[in-house]
Amino acid sequence: MRDSFIRSLTQLLESRDDVILLTADLGFGIFTDISERFPDRFVNVGVAEQNMIGVATGLALDGWTVFAYSIGNFSTLRCLEQIRNDAAYHEANVNVVASGGGFTYGALGMSHHATEDLSIMRALPGVELVAPCDAFESAAATLELARRPGVGYLRIEKNVPFDSSATGGSFEIGRARVLRLGGDVTLIATGGIVVEAIRASDALARAGISAAVVSMHTLTPFDAEAVRRAALETRAIVTIEENNIVGGLGGAVAEVLAELGAGVRFARIGMPSIYSSIVGDQDYLRQRYSLDSPAIERTVLGLLDQPVRQMAFR
């Protein structure tokens, strides 16, 4: 994902004179080509993420399209006030990039675990929040965010063993991509953890259960119609996110279902509302916190055994 972001960003720098990259003391290796080819459009502000967003906003208000890059929480929670007050309030063309969503940097501990950012950034008015599932979506999201006005938030990860380019159709911010069709349950996931939904779909198929998989890559603006279709076409919906269970993807889907009055079986899979006190790689932490494909499979099997309340659904 990160490499595809850099390739798309390089394309933008080659084709447009108004694109500029800011980073906060990161990316010396991965940005070497950009810094050498576009030295006047690459700024390393040092270990100063709050200042990075302030500088980014000033540049954007002067006509630049800015990408401000850091890892995990450092590009979001450390400078939340600047994103809110400077960039979002002024509707500046600032695209905040967090490389290392969820447990990407799991071995570095909770300071590097980005497991609340989706919930918090989703609450900011005027911020378009995109969490791609793979390199294909990451590349497309980078190009599309550069074309759209206002503040964008791009949450990417490192290596995702999955390629959705041949499924799900084209990428469009605000429109979910259906990666697999299914008639029994819909698995709606966001970010790199979509790969766990794909694996769970395979396992469920062996048990005779048809599971659709949806990449809900955009949380703001949210594709409520995709949720409505899932409620109409399948018996249950399960959301999967590498983020706090409160206020993220699961919350967004629950809000849509509640407003529709949909009597559909529903479950949220995400990080419990706690801070992780465990370190380890991403796969290990997904397993420890029941975010992996076996946990999804268990949730679906239990959910389909439950009765559904009959409610008016319009």
Q: Give the C-alpha separation, 269 to 291, whole Å.
A: 6
Q: Of the ranges 156-160, 266-270, 286-290, which one carries the lowest mean pLDDT score? A: 156-160
Q: Of the ranges 22-31, 58-67, 223-232, 240-249, which one carries the lowest mean pLDDT score? A: 22-31
For residue range 71-96, list pLDDT tens digits in order. Answer: 989 999 999 999 999 999 999 999 99
Q: What pLDDT does residue 305 have?
A: 86
Query: What structural domains does the chain harbor?
Result: 2-156 (3.40.50.970), 177-304 (3.40.50.920)
Q: What pLDDT does residue 313 have?
A: 47
Do 94 and 62 touch, CB atoms closer than 8 A? no
For residue range 83-136, list pLDDT tens digits in order. Answer: 999 999 999 999 999 999 999 999 999 999 999 999 999 999 999 999 999 999
Question: Residues 188-209, buried b or exposed e (16+ Cβ, 10 A)?
Answer: bbbbbbbbbbbbbbebbeeeeb
pLDDT band at 307 (very low <50, low <70, confident <90, very high): low
Query: Is the predicted pLDDT of residue 311 greater than 50, yes or no?
Result: no
Do 278 and 287 touch, CB atoms closer than 8 A? no
Do 266 and 253 touch, CB atoms closer than 8 A? yes
Mean pLDDT of the chain: 95
Please tell me which residue, 251 or 159, carries the higher pLDDT value.
Answer: 251
For residue range 36-55, list pLDDT tens digits in order. Answer: 999 999 999 999 999 999 99
Query: Is the predicted pLDDT of residue 171 greater than 90, yes or no?
Result: yes
User: Which residues lie closer than 8 Å to 180 by C-beta, 6 or more apart?
Assistant: 167, 198, 201, 211, 212, 213
Do 182 and 210 touch, CB atoms closer than 8 A? yes
